[in-house]
Amino acid sequence: MDKELLLEKYFEKTLTESERIAFEQLLAADEEFAAAFAFEKEVKKAFIHNEKSELKRKIQALEAKKSPKTVPLSWYYAAACVIMLAGFSLWIFQGESTDKLYESYYQTYPNVVAPAVRGSQSDDIQSRAFNAYDTGDYGEAEQLFQEIYQTERTDFALFYTGLSQLELQQYEVAQSTFEQFDFSKNNSFTPYFKWYLALAELKTGNAADAKTLLEDLSQRDNPMQEMAKELLEEMD
């Protein structure tokens, strides 16, 4: 049975009874499958948290700007409900430049690989890299993730190298980093590599290349599909 499909159906809550049994057996016996499941679960939790925080900020911004004499307060709550029900995490800005679209859609990606555990300490290179990333020391994080990737060729090290470069505003360097990923793998990291590469392309004015990546994301079932569709609408 297709492992990727099982993961998708689990998070969509559409597993049949036989698929549920197969899923649980794989989770117990297949370390790679268990790791992929844990990764996807943490990603979804992190993005839900980010979306809620972004929605709250947008509502507060609207409250600060509203004119009570001309627009009823209920309109803002209705708008917020529509956004939440539709799964939007960002307001639409018509006619924005690619630079502004980047700023509107970019969110710092969380550490979902090795979140810090309170009371635990470790001095291995992976722990130091993620600690630097979590504390905003992106220059140190970039160097450490590059070192990990050079020796281990792991996808997470390449991904967080590129993310650190985006945080350092090294957009063209980040593009080159993300492009090193083998997109034929189509693993759990793939949609996020495509999403952040598309954002980097936008930031550097390469709208056509960004659109190609976003169109691919929008046509496949993946965690970034809806965001890709929204951004494509903004670019049309």
Looking at the domain assignment, is residue 225 inside a domain? yes
- The more confidently predicted of residues 34 and 78 is 34
Report if residue 138 sits inside a domain. yes
The CATH number for 178's domain is 1.25.40.10
The pLDDT value recorded for residue 121 is 59
For residue 80, pLDDT beyond 60: no
Q: Is residue 42 part of a domain?
A: no
Q: What is the pLDDT of residue 151?
A: 94
Per the structure, the count of domains in the chain is 1
Quote the CA–CA distance of 202 and 219 in Å, as a whole number: 19
pLDDT at 92 over 60: no
Q: pLDDT value at position 185? A: 83
Question: Containing domain of residue 206, as a range?
Answer: 92-236
Res. 3: pLDDT tops 70: yes
Predicted confidence (pLDDT) per residue in 35-59, tens digit = 777 777 766 665 555 554 555 555 4
In a domain, 63, yes or no: no
Please state the rounded mean pLDDT for residues 70-89: 42
pLDDT band at 231 (very low <50, low <70, confident <90, very high): very high
pLDDT of amino acid 44: 63
In a domain, 161, yes or no: yes
Exposed, middle or buried by CB within 10 Å (0-12, 13-18, 19+), for 95? exposed
Q: Tell me if 7 is assigned to some domain.
A: no
The answer to whether position 77 is within a domain reads: no
The whole-chain average pLDDT of the chain stands at 78
pLDDT of res. 53 = 54
Query: Residue 22 falls within a domain, yes or no?
Result: no
pTM of the model: 0.62
pLDDT, one tens digit per residue, over 177-196 is 999 999 988 888 899 999 99
